[in-house]
Amino acid sequence: MLVAVFMDGVGRPMTWFSETWLLIGLFFCPMFFGMGILPAYYLEKTKQDKLSLGFRIQLFMHSHCLFLIVLTIVMTAMGLRSSFMCMMAVLFDITALIVNLVTKWHRRAYWFAIAAMVCQILPFLYYTSIAHATYMTMLPMTGRSGSASNPDLLMAGIAVFMAILFAGFIMPLFLFFRKTRTIIYSFLAIAVLFIIIAVTPAGFPYKAKTATQRYSLIHAQRTLHRADGSIRLQEAGIYVYPQDRRINSADDYIKAIGEKHKVSEYCDVEMFCGMPLYNHRWHKARERSFWIPIEENPNLPGSRPALTLLNAHNLEGSISRKRYEFQLVGPDHMTIFIGLQNEVKITDWSFNDTMIREKWEQPYFIYFSYGKDEVGSLTFTIDVEKSDGNFNVPVLEIGIAGHWIHQNKNRTPKYEQFVKSFPSYASVNDWVATYESWLF
C-alpha cells in the first residue's frame, strides 16, 4: 500500500497498465519482504531458545492458520461469500498438519516441511491463477474508472490479499536457510529496482490499441440566464474529462488551444458548476476535470434543447404551494439540473420520488434519454412550497444539458486540430453539447 501511495505521490500511477510484469516487483515483492523480515529478525534474536528451529517455524505457520480462521469467521459473519478463499487455505494447511501428526514428522527437524510443501502446491496454483484472472479483469477497468480514485491502491490490495493466501505458509519455510535475512532483503531490493524502472520511460503505461489512455471531450456552449430572461453569461469551451489517473498527460496539447481551468473552480458559484455534465460521475471528478474556454462555438447537428414553462398555479387554493409544469424538447441524451432558490422546498414532482422521499441534498441531477421517438419531448411537473407564499422572486433554477453523442461530427477547425493533436496511444471520445439554465 505504501508503494501505491508513493507512486501516485510522485506522479507515476498506473505504470503497470501496459507492462503488467511490474506488478510483481511493485506490490508482491514488498509484501513478501514484510511477511518475512520480522520472523527472520525474531529467530535471529532467539537463537538460544529451547525450542528447535523447526518447532518455531511450525508455530509461525500455525499462527498464520489461526489468523486465516479468524478472517474466515469474520467474513462469513459479514455475509461475504469470498470467505471460502480463506477457508481453502486453512483446509490444505490442516491437511498437512494431519499428515505430520500421523507420521510424527512434526517432531523431526525438517521433515514436516515435506507435507507442508506438497499440500501447498494446489493452493499456490489456484490462488496465483485467481490473482492472474483478477488482474486481467480489473486492469482494463482502471483505464476508465475515473481520475478521482487511485488504481494503484486496488492493485496493491489484490496483491496483499492474494499474497496472504498463497505465500503465508510458504514464507516461513525460507527461515530454514542460513542467510535468511539476505534472502528476505532480496525481495526488498527487487522492489526498489522495479520502482526505479517504473519511474523511467520503461514504465510509461500506455500503448496504442492495446493500452490506450482514454479521454472524453465535449465541445460545448453554455448560456446562463438572469431571472428576467436576459443572458448573464455565454461562452464556448472544451470540457476535458480524463478517464484515468494520469490527468496531466495532455497538458502540452491543452496549452496549444487555450488556458485550462479546473471545473471545480466554477462549482462554488454555479449549480453543478454550470457545465454540461454527462452523468453524476463527472461531478464527482470535478477536481480532476478541466474547462478550456475558446472562441469557436460548436457546430450542433440539431436544435438546442428548449425548456418551456407551460403552466404555474397554486395548489388546492394554498398560497404557499405552487405547481410548475414544463415541457422539454431536445436531443436523445439530456441531463436536467434542478436547484432551489430563496428558501423553497420541493414537495413532489413527476419524476421518481426517491430523491424527494429520502431528502437528498439539492441540487438534483436527472438523466433523460430516449430511443426512436421523433418528438423527443418530456413533460414534467414540480410542486414547491414557500412558507411566506412570495413567488414574485425566483424559486427554481433549472439547467438543461443536451448531448449529441452518436450523430455525425462536424468539428470546427481549431477543435479539429486539438483532437487530432493527441498522440496515437490516446483514445479520444468526443461530441458536442450545450448547457443552458433559467430561473423561474
pTM of the model as a whole: 0.84
297 Cα distance to chain centroid: 32
User: Is the pLDDT confidence value at 153 over 70?
Assistant: yes
**Position 313, amino acid:** H
Q: What is the pLDDT of residue 268?
A: 86
C-alpha cell at position 259: 488556458
Ramachandran region, residue 415 (left: φ > 0; alpha: ψ -120 to 50; beta: rest): alpha
Q: What is the pLDDT of residue 373?
A: 62
State the distance between the two ends of the chain, measured CA to CA, in whole angstroms: 51
DSSP annotation string for 216-236: EEEEEEEEEE-TTS-EEEEEE
User: How would you classify the pairing of strands 231-242 and 261-262?
Assistant: unpaired
C-alpha cell at position 206: 500506455
- Print burial letters for 81-109: b (CB count within 10 Å at least 16), e (below 16): eebebbbbbbebbeebbebbeeeebbeee
Beta bridge partners of 402: 334, 434
Query: Average pLDDT over the chain, rounded to whole?
Result: 89
Beta strands in 330-374 (DSSP E): 333-340, 345-349, 364-369
Q: What is the pLDDT of residue 374?
A: 58
Kindly report, residue by residue over 411-425, the tens digit of the pLDDT. 999 999 989 888 888
Share of residues in the chain with pLDDT > 90 (%): 47
Share of residues in the chain with pLDDT > 70 (%): 99
Q: In which residue are the cell numbers 528476505 written?
A: 184
Q: What is the pLDDT of residue 188?
A: 93
User: What's the average model confidence in pLDDT over 311-339?
Assistant: 90
Helix (H, G, I), strand (E, B) or coil at 402: strand
Kindly report, residue by residue over 179-224, the tens digit of the pLDDT. 888 899 999 999 999 999 999 888 888 888 888 888 899 999 999 9
Q: What pLDDT band is residue 56 in, cutting at 50, 70 and 90?
A: confident
C-alpha cell at position 394: 425566483
Q: What pLDDT band is residue 8 in, cutting at 50, 70 and 90?
A: confident
Helix (H, G, I), strand (E, B) or coil at 437: strand
Backbone phi, psi, residue 333, to 5°: -130, 115
